């Protein structure tokens, strides 16, 4: 029988409506595979019942998806700037309005998450946070000010999930499509006053109390080397050309330091396949571009009046093939972490980020953000594939904050663009939070959070971003070999 995943509403007749709704049934043993859900409409969406995403009572499926906290492994997948509107834009374009993502939409337990930050001066809420404050919130459990990297509003460092995971003997990984020093990956491995303190140069200028020469913990890149995850993948090699200003590696580049400290330091996509293991003796640091990684789709900018122009479709960005996909980095990380001795014995913690949903949303680049949402979905599919087989892995998928793009009826006073979706209908996307050529702003609406595996029920309903820290920390503590 065809499953929902295989049936495309556009391609089937009414007959396929009956009984094709799928939930993968759970076995009744403790070794059961938890269900994922398939939420694509069986269609046609314009016929009676055709747009329905569920077939009958879901109580058993949801019950079967609930398993108490205490997973051996945790995979936290973050879409930077992936609000509900970014998910819907990408789903409409790629999968169809009645379609479903095989990763993002397959997690059985879903909630909403508040993600405000706080003002440094008075601790009052800042309703439109940045990625530094939001990442710090789930990495450390404390809300802080925009630009802070895992320090509270008084500048005090708090231990991160990745650091706690290491302490409990787990293997760890931190991967992204942005510069590895960018806020989201940085929050797991470092503590600095301002997110821009990537290397020794900027740290001396902007984060003086953090600088090594002042007795601080060092720049984000230097702290990354100290925190020493088993697996680190992203962009941002250019900062590793800077030289340490104090300490054991004073005068040496950070790249030389990494190599001297046993890192397998790679910069070429082809090198990824040559890495057969990664552990504390020989961690892997893969930096596949000098800055942020190129994105999947060529730039397609919204313009003033663009929603009235001819509809366009997304085209491949040839540069994207120069770097590994997020899904391939995710798969590789899971392989390395689950095979390493610590990972086998104590499990692993892996943070995965699709970073440029946010960056392309800032640029009012509709295809750009769609392609990076697809990258996130494919990474989630890799995580779920492992989790279903492993049966002892918590997967959480969420965003750090919401963003500007909106699906609208027609041209707006701001910037807009008309896209012809893969199902052949037109969708106007608008960006109304900045003028042309300026950076579109983050927005403050709650974001989706979804989970799979032991402890996933804790994301259901309304949670705050700081709850993620406690859900994951306590889940890791509850794991008993």
Q: By CB under 5 A, name the binding residues for Zn ion.
A: 358
As measured in angstroms, the least distance from the Cβ of 439 to Zn ion is 8
Q: Alpha-carbon dihedral of residues 357, 360, 365, 369, nearest 10 degrees?
A: -10
**Residue 393 backbone class (left: φ over 0; alpha: ψ -120 to 50; beta: rest):** beta
Smaller CB separation from Mg ion, 202 or 372 = 372
The binder of Mg ion chosen from 22, 38, 69, 131 (CB under 5 A) = 131
Q: Choosing among Mg ion, Zn ion, none, which partner's interface includes residue 184 (Cβ < 5 to 8 Å by kind)?
A: Mg ion
As measured in angstroms, the least distance from the Cβ of 79 to Mg ion is 9
The binder of Mg ion chosen from 64, 73, 80, 97 (CB under 5 A) = 80
As measured in angstroms, the least distance from the Cβ of 244 to Mg ion is 25
Which residue of the chain is nearest Zn ion when measured via CB?
A: 358
Q: Please list every residue from 347 through 366 that binds Mg ion, using CB under 5 A.
A: 355
Smaller CB separation from Zn ion, 362 or 448 = 362
Tell me the site size for Mg ion, rule CB under 5 A.
4
Q: Please list every residue from 162 through 201 that binds Mg ion, using CB under 5 A.
A: 184
Q: At what angle do helices 366-390 and 326-339 cross, to 10 degrees?
A: 20
Contact 257, 312 (CB under 8 A): no
Q: Which one is catalytic: 85, 117, 131, 237?
A: 131
Q: Choosing among Zn ion, Mg ion, none, which partner's interface includes residue 393 (Cβ < 5 to 8 Å by kind)?
A: none
Smaller CB separation from Mg ion, 67 or 289 = 289
Smaller CB separation from Mg ion, 95 or 353 = 353
335 contacts: CB under 8 Å, gap ≥ 6: none
Interatomic CA distance for residues 231 and 400, integer angstroms: 22
As measured in angstroms, the least distance from the Cβ of 400 to Mg ion is 7
Q: Choosing among Zn ion, Mg ion, none, which partner's interface includes residue 355 (Cβ < 5 to 8 Å by kind)?
A: Mg ion
Smaller CB separation from Mg ion, 126 or 130 = 130
As measured in angstroms, the least distance from the Cβ of 81 to Mg ion is 8
Q: Choosing among Zn ion, Mg ion, none, which partner's interface includes residue 255 (Cβ < 5 to 8 Å by kind)?
A: none
Which residue of the chain is nearest Mg ion when measured via CB?
A: 184
227 is a contact residue toward Mg ion (CB under 5 A): no
As measured in angstroms, the least distance from the Cβ of 370 to Zn ion is 17
137 is a contact residue toward Mg ion (CB under 5 A): no
As measured in angstroms, the least distance from the Cβ of 222 to Mg ion is 20
Smaller CB separation from Mg ion, 184 or 430 = 184
To the query of whether residue 29 is one of the catalytic residues in this protein, the response is: no
Smaller CB separation from Zn ion, 222 or 358 = 358
- Residues catalogued as catalytic: 131
- Binding residues for Mg ion, rule: CB under 5 A, are 80, 131, 184, 355
């Amino acid at each position: 029988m065809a499953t929902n995943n295989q049936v495309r509403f556009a391609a089937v007749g009414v007959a396929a409506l009956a009984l094709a709704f799928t939930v993968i049934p759970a076995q009744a043993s403790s070794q059961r595979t938890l269900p994922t859900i398939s939420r694509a409409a069986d269609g046609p969406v314009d016929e009676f019942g055709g747009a329905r995403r569920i077939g009958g009572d879901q109580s058993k499926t949801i019950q079967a998806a609930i398993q108490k906290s205490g997973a051996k492994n945790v995979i936290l997948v973050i879409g930077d700037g992936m609000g509900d509107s970014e998910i819907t834009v990408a789903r409409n374009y790629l999968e169809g309005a009645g379609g479903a993502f095989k990763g993002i939409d397959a997690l059985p337990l879903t909630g909403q998450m508040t993600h405000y930050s706080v003002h440094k001066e008075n601790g009052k809420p800042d309703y439109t946070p940045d990625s530094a404050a939001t990442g710090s919130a789930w990495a450390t459990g404390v809300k802080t000010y925009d630009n802070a990297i895992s320090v509270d509003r008084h500048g005090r460092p708090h231990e991160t999930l990745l650091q706690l995971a290491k302490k409990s003997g787990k293997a760890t990984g931190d991967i992204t499509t942005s510069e590895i020093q960018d806020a989201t990956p940085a929050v797991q491995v470092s503590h600095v006053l301002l997110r821009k303190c990537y290397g020794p140069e900027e740290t001396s200028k902007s984060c003086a109390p953090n600088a090594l020469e002042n007795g601080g913990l060092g720049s984000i890149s230097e702290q990354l080397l100290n925190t020493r995850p088993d697996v680190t993948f992203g962009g941002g090699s250019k900062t590793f050309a800077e030289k340490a200003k104090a300490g054991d590696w004073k005068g040496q580049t950070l790249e030389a330091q990494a190599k001297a400290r046993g890192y397998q330091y790679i910069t070429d996509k082809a090198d990824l396949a040559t890495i057969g293991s990664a552990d504390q003796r020989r961690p892997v640091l893969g930096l596949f571009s000098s800055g942020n990684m190129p994105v999947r789709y060529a730039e397609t900018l919204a313009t003033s009046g663009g929603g009235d122009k001819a509809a366009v479709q997304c085209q491949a960005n040839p540069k994207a093939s120069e770097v590994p996909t997020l899904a391939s980095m995710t798969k590789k990380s899971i392989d390395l972490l689950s095979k390493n001795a610590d990972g086998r014995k104590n499990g692993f913690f892996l943070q995965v980020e699709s970073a440029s949903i946010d960056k392309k949303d800032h640029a009012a680049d509709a295809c750009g953000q769609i392609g990076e949402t697809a990258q996130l979905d494919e990474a989630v599919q890799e995580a779920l594939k492992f989790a279903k087989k492993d049966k002892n892995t918590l997967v959480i998928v969420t965003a750090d904050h919401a963003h500007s793009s909106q699906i609208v009826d027609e041209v707006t006073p701001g910037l807009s663009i008309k896209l012809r979706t893969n199902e052949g209908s037109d969708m106007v996307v608008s960006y109304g939070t900045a003028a042309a050529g300026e950076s579109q702003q983050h927005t403050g609406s709650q974001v989706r959070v979804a989970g799979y595996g032991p402890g996933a029920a804790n994301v259901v309903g309304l949670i705050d971003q700081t709850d993620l820290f406690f859900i994951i920390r306590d889940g890791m503590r509850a794991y008993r070999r």
